[in-house]
């Protein structure tokens, strides 16, 4: 039980994913700054921004539905954390995967987008509702290519387990050209 809590919270769970995400965001900001002939932020800037935002007051608009408005970011964060946890654990220990875990992963990848829709719809702001409708259109447009890109290697391997993909790639190398067959 304690091991599962450690995996969810520390490695490869929330803390590890948050640190890697903040560092990846720093690389993105630094490269963007260099392209624009600027110096860019120091490596710890995203951490400083994060802790500064933790001290800010949470303001709920009067017209907002409080439950949906406050739960939406938490739902998105849980989805991203679970996806990273599943992917890291399956890469480290491919034999613990279960039948259909790739389908669970696809559903969990949709949670952040659904959280944006829930948060925008619950805010009571007409502009946020417009953003929520745009996110719905993006989900409808993006999901089919995303599913095709995921299921192309699954057809090649003939399994719907992430562990099977990892074991196949360990034996045969990365699958870089298999997606060309879907076009």
pLDDT digits (tens, 9 = 90+) for 95-133: 888 888 899 999 999 999 999 999 999 998 999 989 999
Q: What is the pLDDT of residue 181?
A: 58
Select from 180, 156, 170, 159 the least CA-distant residue to 103: 159
For residues 15-31, average pLDDT: 91
pLDDT(35) > 90: yes
Q: Where are the domains of the chain?
A: 1-57, 66-183
Q: What is the pLDDT of residue 1?
A: 72
Peptide bond into 90 cis (omega under 30): no
For residues 37-46, average pLDDT: 95
- Under 8 Å between Cβ of 112 and 76: yes
* Residue 118 to residue 28: CA distance in whole angstroms: 28
pTM of the full predicted structure? 0.78
Q: Tokens 């630094």 correspond to what residue?
A: 30
């Amino acid at each position: 039980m304690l091991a599962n809590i450690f995996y969810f919270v520390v490695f490869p769970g929330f803390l590890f994913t948050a640190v890697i995400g903040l560092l990846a965001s720093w690389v993105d900001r630094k490269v963007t700054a260099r392209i624009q002939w600027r110096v860019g932020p120091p490596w710890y800037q995203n951490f400083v921004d994060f802790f500064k935002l933790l001290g800010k007051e949470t303001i709920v608009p009067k017209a907002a539905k409080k439950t949906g408005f406050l739960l939406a970011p938490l739902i998105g964060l849980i989805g991203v954390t679970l996806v990273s946890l599943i992917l890291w654990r399956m890469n480290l220990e491919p034999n613990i995967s279960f039948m259909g875990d790739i389908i669970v992963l696809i559903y969990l990848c949709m949670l952040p987008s659904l959280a944006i829709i829930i948060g925008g719809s619950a805010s009571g702001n007409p502009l946020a509702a417009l953003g929520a409708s745009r996110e719905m259109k993006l989900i409808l447009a993006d999901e089919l290519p995303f599913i095709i890109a995921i299921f192309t290697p699954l057809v090649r391997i003939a399994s719907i387990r992430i562990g099977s993909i990892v074991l196949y790639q360990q034996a045969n190398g990365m699958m870089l050209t298999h997606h060309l067959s879907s076009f």
